[in-house]
Structure 1
Amino acid sequence: MKISVFSILIVVLILFQSCKTDDTIEETVEICPRNVEVGLEALTSNSATIKWLETQGFASNYEYGEKGFTLGTGIKGNTSDENVTLVGLKPDTEYDFYLQSICTAEIIGEFITNPYTFTTLTCYELYSENLGFKGYVENGDFNAFWLPKRTADEWQVAMAINGTTNPTESQIYTVESNTGNFNFPDIEPNVEYIFFVRGKCNNAYGDWVTKNINTGDENLTSPCIANATIVDNDGYYINFSVNSQSNYFVEILEENTEKGSGLLFEIEKNSSFNIEKRTFHNEYSEYIKADTNYDIFVRVACGSSFSEYSKVLTYRSPFANVVFFAESTIKDDQLLLSWYDFRYGFNYEYCQSYDQVTYEIEYGLQDFIEGEGVLIETEAVSTGSSFIYNLPLNILESGSTYEFSIRSVVNGNSRSSWNSLNSGACNQSNIGRFVFTAP
């Protein structure tokens, strides 16, 4: 059989292609996994800190820009950390953030398929209803004020005749960030004006917020808004202030009760309101019940009227003092029941006792049903570190077994659990009844 040269060439080519294909299959494609758990760590009006979890990489490339930007045209960077702070952002703007993992100097992963999107905070919050007027002051200037929910880097204010769209440069005054009012000179009485306010953030001013005013109005103390800022609410203290141009009023009342029936405090403007939880329930024992929620509201004075109530927070009073029988002895014809003087009250965040305490003792034959035993109310006798109550033995049937329970009554109206004790971390638990067999 004859074999042509052409046939041999075809066989060689087939073998070559087969070997090449096998080599390709055997190659290992190294993959650099994408970073995961991309999220927000901190956010302001002009910055954002983005965090993530690296999979196998030791560094990351990132790129960001306003929402919808084309990858490759944004702001680029590189970091070996698992977070990055982006600065120079615009307030109240939506941004896309892309992340790319770097596994080795030669191996770089893909950018995450979908960008992480976030929106920067509004630099300041100010609305027309937050603008108000106190009117003419002693030197003849006209006082106007504004109550922002979030302050700006600085403010610009102006007063212009009604109908003005934008104030002129000569009418604009620039004031510091922490300023909330301004005395305008040369304001005519009985004239319609527009009050202009705008804030500056990241070197750019926002839109003017305006409010109309007739300088002849008698009631110039609007708006009547109470914006409370909580300074402190840890385990022991409550401390807050109210952004107001006049005195403000704090009312503390039991949750879900009618306003006007609680504890009322008048606080001078620019002063803070403070509660020390460790003593408050004893200072106002005629009102405070144990283990009860109390709502704290504020409102401000507006001429002869008041603003709407604004809720600051809910405060929970401590648990009633714990108490349980420690031991008993027989002396003469008396059973001496005793319990420790535990000066504790309990709450989720702190421990503190009530000063006004009496006790209730209930007893009956063994396994008696709570509420069906004999109830004794007593202030007891203090021995320094404990209290004692003397129970005549002749009221007990000889040879019978009895059980005794005890609980505290604080501020005349709040009862603890029966046989309660401190279980640590400002919590309370219960132990069994005291058992006694009459001789």
Structure 2
Amino acid sequence: MAPSLPPLSLYVHIPWCVRKCPYCDFNSHKAGPEVPEQAYVHALLRDMQDETARSHGRPLSSIFFGGGTPSLFSAQAIGDILQGAERHFGFAANIEITLEANPGTAEQGRFHGYRAAGVNRLSIGVQSFNAQHLHHLGRIHSGREAIDAVAMARAAGFDNFNLDLMHGLPGQTPEDASADLTQALDLAPNHLSWYQLTIEPNTEFFRRPPVLPIEDTLADIQDVGSALLSENGLHQYEISAYAKTNQQAAHNLNYWRFGDYIGIGAGAHGKLSHWHGNQLQIHRQWKTRLPEHYLKRTDNIATQRFEAGSEVIEAQDLPLEFMMNALRLNDGVEQSLFQQRTGLALDTIAAPLKHLREQGLITPDRLQPTALGSRYLNRLLPAFEAV
């Protein structure tokens, strides 16, 4: 193992959903009558095998099954993928293994199976408990089903789970948003992703935009909600993530700390580092996007890889890439991490750091935004462009 390389995570993309939500810009596709589970697991294992050399002997510190809706896959399929991951890479002690699940696909027996297969954390896509807002979002579950899904997760042995909740929804008032948060808090999650609905290109909402709350209402929702979360022991550690003490998502923290991650599955992205002589080189890779094309790669595995493209992150782009991630964290990172993760001396960003610290936007001894810096992050980051 190369001790100077970052920790390594694995992202597994399951691209099918029961129905495509109108706000979703992820690589997800409506499932047909049957999902090609066995063929896709076979492709994932071959994809994983291709990536083994890039691990440079590092065990996986976390695994995240995202989508799409990973809970459409059986526990057997998830277990087969995890066995392959352990065989190819090995697992670090106390590895975090998260699987996204939607309440509309929740089954208690399936949750028990996921837990037995090695999944130790669930991320449940609630989005709202309000029937009208769920309808506007195109969700297939009810608020009652979301509550039941959490009960099923607990019964299956999951004591570590995240709830995904959105705010700034069409027609939502601060009282509506507070009611959603209050219900979520009653379920006692140790982690909550609470984020504002944004309209993204290539979505149904982009083509037919809904009427969203005005800026003053959005500000009121944010203020009231943040206070409510803090009062209930869920503290903000990242722009849209709140957690109980020592319950932050390890997989997400690896992203924000500019760690490495392998991405397998249709459209999955990865970021990997290696030493080329005395220079640290960092690459991004992405896999072929359409599930049917991804599956066909297994037919010609000797001549075709699952990778659709890759690029080297040039040295002049690394400061911005690093800071875009690190400054999302309320506590930022130690200054020494900049050189460890980019291979560049801290002096590379000395000028913009000095300027931003004089403006009170970054703290003196860490790469950490001040409260003011967090409010104006999009204005702060351009200082690190091509430094």
**TM-score if structure 2 supplies the norm length?**
0.17
Structure with bigger strand share is 1
Q: Which has the higher contact order (CA 8 A, sep 6+)?
A: 2
